[in-house]
Structure 1
Amino acid sequence: MDSEGTQDAQGAHAGSVPRPAGPPDVPPRPTGPPGPPHRPGHGESAVPPDAWGRPGYGEPAVPPGSSGYGESAVPPRPVQAPGTPPPPDGSAFLAWLRTPRPEAAPGVWRFGHRPRPEEEPEVVPARQLLTGALVAFLVGWLIWSLLWNGYLGQWWLLPLRLLAPDAWLNDGGSVGSAILYNGYSLLVVLVIAIGVGRLGRWDEVWRRFVVPRLQRRPSEPTAPESPQEDPAQWPELRAAGAVDAAERLAADARTGFMRDVDQARIARAWQGVRSGRHSLAAFTGAVLRDGAAACPHPSGDRDLPARLARHDLVTGQVRLGTTADDPRNPYAYRGTGLALGPELLATSLVAVGPAGSGKTGDVVRPLAESLCLHALAGRAAVVVVGAAGAGIGPADAYDVVVRIGHPESVYDLDLYGGTTDPDEAAAVLAEALVGDLSDPHPGGDSRRSTTVLAQLLAPYRAVHGRFPSVPELRRLLDGAPGPLGALRKALTEAGQEALLRELDARERQAKQPGDLGGVLADRVALLDRPAFAGFFDASGQSRPFSLRSLDHPVRVRIDLPERGHADASRILARLVLAQFTASVAVREDRSLFACLVLDEAAGVVTPEAVRGIQRLRSANAGVVLTLRTLDDVPRALRSPLLGAAGCRMALSGLTPWDGQDFAEVWGKEWIEARDVTDRQIIAETPLGKTVHVLRRVITGNAPTARAVTVRQVERERWSASELAHAVPPGHAVLSLTTARGEHAPPLLVHLRS
């Protein structure tokens, strides 16, 4: 049962969880004693350089003469000394890599998938099928007996007498005559067998009862005969002329020094070579030097500390469960694994379910784990936001952990999102402060709030070269004469006439009734608390993390201080969402998938947030939002939110009014309805009446005639009542949409299988 993050972090060790779909953990190459992990000190960057050795977030550029890939976190494989144990076997990894992954419908777990027909075949009950086959066999045997014994005459020999020479027919004692008669008899038997076999459906009996018992257990995939067909031989590198690099990678795969993350990371590096971002010589040199450890992630990690879900980094999927064998699911999906990947998360996901329904443990944790693996492979940047201790993954699985309100937090959160534009900073901060439309306070107008903040942020930055801290911003919004007077004096001395007019306008508006300055000051006061005294520092003395760093494969976890600071947590969650939607839209490299996972998004959804989510798909980015109920979203924004998200999940325990919103967005479908009517048969003759009386005595029912009416009707895919009462515990109803526009209808999924 999902504990909503209160107990998920306990007991989550590798020995008590199922094995992932990928190969088992592979020990690193033999090296010297490992040193302590590097932690940035004061003034260092919050995020190390990326996997290509490009400058990190504040790091210097790669020195001249470097290969452009940075130093490997794992040194080259040393020569094995005599008497040392042999290296690990790579057969498990090769079997995983060579497992077929056919193309499938959206959401289908492709690892070892066997496609099913689109329509459910007509299945005859086993008893009826076997009985019919037996009766057909007896009928065929009876017909042949009658023909062979002459009870039906000799007409069946007429074709033989017309075609065969008379000398063959009259010579009854010769071998040729016996062969002729026996061959013709066998032909007649085959014709009778084919006829009764079709009537008795012997072919279906063979497929359903004989073939499954004859089939052996499928063996592990073997190596293809040609290197061009074996993914473990890196055929794309060989085709480009990098044969030596391909041989080195194939050798590491055979000897067990390659992981699934290594394969995905090097494949991503090769994409950079093909796109022209990196040179073939630099790539080949890094592979020949470091093998499977080439092109490392900035952290040097080649895997996560522990995996709780099943992952397939070849397709980029993480398995969430199994599609139920339910008549409401399409036949092609029934019994298949259900998996999500970046192509689905790029359309964003909204999951709604009460506490204990599995949002955190069954949805958020596997998705966060998968995105962290993608980040290690250089494919994605992920930001996971949740309450402190919510069970969204260990700290060792992330590069940056921002623990807001915790005195031992190494990193800070940039209140202004790393921008230097006062108008942009004002817009993002206003989005976080004004709240949603359900707030009765007049601060719900984000455009007016943006104007108020811009009137103060622009003059302050012009004077101090930075934005104000939380206490300074609060005093400016309160309209205290001291801070405003000092700011005015500094602007006058600097000759900033235009900014003086902004400050004059702010002072005039502050004297008018209904001014938003006091409202915003009250909101900022929620962040101006002793618990946050060391956070949101804008003077450059801390190590703030900015969401503008999402053009690098970084893993970030942000812990919100919900206990005792619920209002502040909602402000910070809105701030992170606003900064995310604003920053990913201006990234230069959009081939890197960016995702924000926000566990418990109550009070976070605003009109601007919905518009931002709608724009994410074109930026190769997405968000994952979980809600306990849609009542946490303003009534006017529920349908737009579900419409903006391409993937929608309704977990068990949903309320009927929440189910109604899902039923409306999923729409209706045409189905075939069958109406069965039983009409009593009235006998008119004495014999018929006698038969009816006997039948009523034997069966207890009056003789009836059944009439079946088939018609096309339009019905909701999932009604509000079904979503509220027909979804079993541990299940969810999930609809999917890919970034290319492919759809999957609402599917009933077992999340714990």
Structure 2
Amino acid sequence: MDSDGTRDARGTHANPVPRARSVVPPRPTDAPAVPPLPDSSAFLTWLRTARPETLPGVWRFGHQPRPEVEPELIPARQLISGALIAFLVGWLVWSLLQNGYVGAWWLLPFKLLIPDSWRGSGSDVGNYLVYEGYELLVALTIMIVVGRLGRWGEVWRRFVLPHLRRKPQQQRQQAAPAPAEDPAEYPHLRAAGAVDVAERLAAEARAGLMKDVDHARIGRAWQGVRSGRFSLAAFSGAVLTEGSAACLHPSGARDLPGRVARHDLVTGQVRLGTTADDARNPYAYRGTGLGVGPELLGTSLLAVGPAGSGKTGTVVRPLAESLCLHALAGRAAVVVVGAAGAGLGPADGYDVVVQIGNPESVYDLDLYGGTADPDEAAAVLAEALVGDLAEPHQGGDTRRSTTVLAQLLGPFRAVHGRFPSVPELRQLLDGTAGPLAVLRKGLEDSGQESLLRELDARERQMGNPGDVGGILADRIALLDRPAFAGFFDTSGQSRPFSLKALDHPVRVRIDLPQRGHADASRMLARLVLAQFSASVAVREDRSLFACLVIDDATGVVTPEAVRAVQRLRSGNAGVVLTLRTLDDVPRPLRGPLLGAAGCRMALAGLTPWDGQDFAEVWGKEWIEARDVTDRQIIAETPAGKVLHAVRRVITGKAPTARAVTVRQVERERWSASELAHGVPAGHAVLSLTSVQGEHAPPLLVDLRG
């Protein structure tokens, strides 16, 4: 078995390949050399480490669950002072007994319980042992009593035991489980009857020839066997022949160069940081790692923070790297969009790198998304051109623009067998007589009356006050520049990449020409988002997770984009959007955007008005408020007055009585002021929602951890 259907990416090889709509090229026969690890201990330890089921967002690798509610702890100073006082009291009692200050009554139980023959034996050693044993019993009784009163057990558990068992605990975490449950022996394959396959994989793991990507990729192939996509015989033959290199990604790669984040491909998580040990975080989350995987990204992620807050380096780059690893394992397809030089990972980590505006780019971007339907192409292109001009929740300009483009794209494709290039489309939208006449003649010669009526309608609308053709021509002119002369070609001379390839585990990076072409870059980002949402909606294999990552989504959020984000979860897809501020989103769309994204992140440095939007979407919670009132005590007797005077001289304060009132109040989880001024540098407040509907409240996270 070479590969299953979910791992054959079209147009995704490092060398120039045909268009994404062409026949899939064969997989490389020779995989790149993967040097073996010095030994298998690192991989086996990683594979055998426990990953308990826990709350959403918790880094599961080696996690130790904690109670969901914080136990009531006595302050350390009070606990230690109490233990010391209890020890002194016990020592005092024992001294009084030993020195005879309390009489001999404490020996009465000894006289009643011990036979006379034992006490009166002729052996001095026997008498000594009897009396010393009784004294030891009394001492132990005193120690147990004062130990309970002084909470010595809690002092031991809190201050001594953690230091003693830290190293043995780490050793136990790294210890292998029982052989019958050892994941390195692949018990699920043995249970299914594939004993020879399990033996081959176990031998590769022990020899240090297997990596985490190999384990995840073979696990994905086994899922294909269980679902019936291909046969057990094909799977077994591939593994027995190639070992851990079986079922390779079409690129032949088995790992990513230069990882920057911690990944766990068993759970599919990438570690983004550590939740702070802060009172505002639930106790079960404090001090745990923050892990994000496809089960959370499937609800989409929106990160908002000013420039320099770490959106690209601490959020986008690790997520893109994790999704690329999932793609190598045959689990995901990822498209990463950002400015050229934004630090989204090396080019070797992607199958397709589209550098728009760079003449050395191997790949081009298909302006029409690889579709042959003029109506679908018109809808996607209209969203890219004028989606930001549409009225929120109405989209009137987008619908009119779709109609105008369909009136031109349909006739042009019928005559020329392709869609128009950027200069040709600009001429048609401008109403240039020559191209329209050629188009009309071609339709008349082919006898396509319905398309002639479309063209007639377009010509009648030209010049009317409500016609959007001029706006579309001005927008498409942003792409009709010398810098883009070699791009968006439709004649078949270039190698355009189409998002129709998301049916396969492809890794794509699209570099936008931000410098000097900011408006064109925003338009292209809207185009990619529109093509992505249209492509994932019609995928045949939805077991493959598809994700679009847009670094700096300024000008990308439109009414149709918000509706598309809401629909992605049902198609096993999601988007990751970053913004410098919510002011880059029209005011009527901010609430719907925050509602459509299941995971919301507010980074340090947020403005108060941005914080207000997050505070509203995160809502309020009931908390227990304690009001403490100190009331001065008035002495009525002379002795009381003297006592109060002495107390005032010693403490410097008047004697008071404290009254505590406890009540339930409703308070914002995070207020706008706290988000703007209370989040430390390098931190963020993040709420999570999984595709199963599980929620994690807003958590203060250290992204540098």
* TM superposition score normalised by structure 1: 0.86
Counterpart in the other structure of 1:272: 224
- In the alignment, structure 1 residue 120 sits paired with structure 2 residue 70: yes
* Shift in alpha-carbon separation, 1:141–1:553, aligned structure 2, 3 A: same
Task: Name the residue aligned to 1:100.
Answer: 50
- CA pair 227-282 structure 1, distance change in 2 beyond 3 A: farther
Q: Is the 8 A contact 1:674 1:708 kept in 2?
A: yes
Other-structure match for 1:58 = 22
Q: Which residue type is aligned with residue 487 of structure 2?
A: F
Q: Structure 1 stretch 362-371 or stretch 331-340: which is displaced more?
A: 331-340
Partner SS for 1:586: coil
SS in 2 for 1:526: helix
- Looking at structure 2, the residues matched to 279 and 116 of structure 1 have their Cα atoms a distance apart, in angstroms, of 43
**Aligned equivalent of 1:539, options 483, 488, 491:** 491
Secondary structure of 2:209's counterpart equals coil
Residues 115 and 645 of structure 1: is their aligned pair in 2 closer, same or farther, counting only changes over 3 Å?
same
Structure 2, unmatched stretches of 5+, are 1-11
**For the Cα contact (< 8 Å) 1:436–1:605, is it kept in 2?**
yes
Checking the alignment, whether the CA contact within 8 Å between 1:351 and 1:648 is kept in structure 2 is yes
3-state SS of paired residue (2:562): helix
Matching residue within 460, 467, 491 for 1:508: 460
Q: Within 1, Cα distance between the matches of 2:227 and 2:111?
A: 74
Distance 1:422 1:750 in 2: 48
Q: 1:45 aligns with which of 14, 18, 21?
A: 18
How much has 1:570 moved relative to structure 2? 0.8
Q: 1:91 aligned to 2:26?
A: no
Return the alpha-carbon distance in structure 2 between the equivalents of residues 191 and 46 of structure 1: 86
Alignment root-mean-square deviation, CA: 2.6
Check 1:434–1:463 CA distance in 2 against 1; reply closer, same or farther (3 A cut): same
CA contact (8 A) 1:584 1:621 kept: yes
What is the alpha-carbon distance in structure 2 between the residues aligned to residue 612 and residue 439 of structure 1? 16
Range with bigger deviation, 474-483 or 365-374: 474-483
Kept after mapping to 1: 8 A contact 2:13/2:250: no
Amino acid aligned to 1:308:
V
8 Å contact kept, 2:45–2:174? yes
CA contact (8 A) 2:647 2:655 kept: yes
Cα distance in 2, alignment partners of residues 532 and 349 from structure 1: 31
Q: What's the CA shift string for 1:8-45, capped at 9, x where partnerless?
A: xxxxxxxxxxxxxxxxxxxxxxxxxxxxx97444xx33
- The CA distance in 2 between the partners of 1:145 and 1:698, in whole Å, is 32
Give the whole-Å Cα distance in 1 for the aligned partners of 2:657 and 2:13: 82
Aligned counterpart, 1:636: 588
| Structure 1 Cα separation of the partners of residues 390 and 131 of structure 2 | 93
- 8 Å Cα contact 2:62/2:173 also seen in 1: no
Report matched runs for 1:103-502 at 5 Å. Answer: 103-143=53-93, 149=100, 151=102, 154=105, 157=108, 161=112, 168-169=115-116, 172-174=119-121, 190-215=140-165, 217=167, 218-219=170-171, 224=176, 226-437=178-389, 445-502=397-454
In 2, Cα distance between the equivalents of 1:46 and 1:493? 31
Contact 2:390–2:559 at 8 Å: present in 1 too?
no
Distance 2:130 2:541 in 1: 80
What TM-score does the superposition give when structure 2 sets the normalisation length? 0.92
**Match in the other structure for 1:82:** none
CA shift at 1:693, angstroms?
2.6
SS in 1 for 2:663: strand
Q: Tell me the amino acid that sits aligned with residue 146 of structure 2.
A: V
Work out the CA distance in 2 between the residues paired with 1:45 and 1:665: 46
- Rounded Cα–Cα distance in structure 2 between residues aligned with 1:283 and 1:464: 46
Secondary structure, aligned partner of 1:410: coil
**Equivalent position of 1:690 in the other structure:** 642
Quick check: 430-439 or 112-121, which moved more? 430-439
8 Å CA contact 2:220, 2:329 repeated in 1: yes
Do the aligned partners of residues 267 and 231 (structure 1) sit closer, same or farther apart at CA in structure 2, a change above 3 Å counting?
Answer: same
Distance apart, 1:568 and its partner CA: 0.7
3-state DSSP of counterpart to 1:518: helix
Deviates more, 1:358-367 or 1:133-142: 133-142
CA separation in 2, counterparts of 1:76 and 1:107?
33
> Which structure carries more helix by proportion?
2
Aligned-pair CA distance for 1:126: 2.8
SS at 2:271 equivalent? strand
Q: When the two structures are aligned, how many residues end up with a matched partner? A: 687
Partner Cα distance (1:667, 1:61) in 2: 52
Q: How far off its partner does 1:120 sit? A: 1.9
Partner of 1:623: 575
Alpha-carbon offset, residue 195 of structure 1: 3.2
- Deviation of 1:156 (Å): 8.1
1:290-311 Cα shifts (integer Å, max 9, x gaps): 1111111100011111111111
CA contact (8 A) 1:550 1:584 kept: yes
CA distance in 2, matches of 1:463, 1:666: 54
The 10-residue stretch of structure 1 (506-515 or 693-702) with the greater mean CA deviation from structure 2? 693-702
- Cα offset, 1:492, TM superposition: 1.7
Among 599, 602, 605, the residue aligned to 2:551: 599
Offset of residue 591 of structure 1: 0.9
Cα–Cα, structure 1 residues 155 and 562, in superposed 2: closer, same or farther, change >3 Å? closer
Question: Superposed, which structure 2 residues align to 1:645-656 within 5 Å?
Answer: 645-656=597-608
> Cα offset for 1:76?
11
Residue 523 of structure 1 deviates from its aligned partner by 0.7
Secondary structure, aligned partner of 2:547: strand
Please report how far the alpha carbon of residue 250 of structure 1 lies from its aligned counterpart in structure 2 after TM superposition. Answer: 1.4
Q: For residues 323 and 224 of structure 1, do their structure 2 counterparts lie closer, same or farther at Cα, with a shift above 3 Å needed?
A: closer
C-alpha contact (below 8 Å) 1:169/1:177 kept by paired residues: no
Q: Does 1:716 align with 2:680?
A: no
**Partners of 1:585 and 1:699 in 2: how far apart?**
74
How far is 1:548 from its partner?
1.0
Question: In 2, Cα distance between the equivalents of 1:178 and 1:220?
Answer: 46
Q: Which runs of 5+ in 1 are unaligned?
A: 1-36, 48-56, 63-68, 78-85
Give a deviation string over 1:218-256, Cα, whole Å, max 9, x none. Answer: 227566464431111111111112222212211211121
Q: Distance in 2 between matches of 1:696 and 1:417?
A: 83
For residue 483 of structure 1, give the secondary structure of its aligned residue in structure 2. helix
Secondary structure at 1:375's aligned position in 2? helix
Query: 1:357·1:730 contact (CA, 8 Å) conserved in 2?
Result: yes
Matched, 1:563 2:536: no
The alpha carbon displacement at 1:506 in A equals 1.4
**1:125 positional shift:** 2.9
The match for 1:657 among 606, 609, 613 is 609
Contact 2:13–2:352 (8 Å) recurs in 1: no
CA offsets, 1:524-551, max 9 Å, x none? 1111111111111112221111111101
| Deviation of the 1:349 alpha carbon | 0.5
CA–CA distance in structure 2, aligned partners of residues 589 and 195 of structure 1 = 68
Q: Which amino acid aligns with 1:280?
A: L
Percent identity between matched residues is: 77
Given that 1:160 and 1:184 are in contact with CA atoms closer than 8 Å, whether structure 2 keeps it comes out as no
> Cα gap change, 1:565/1:253 in structure 2, threshold over 3 Å: closer, same or farther?
same
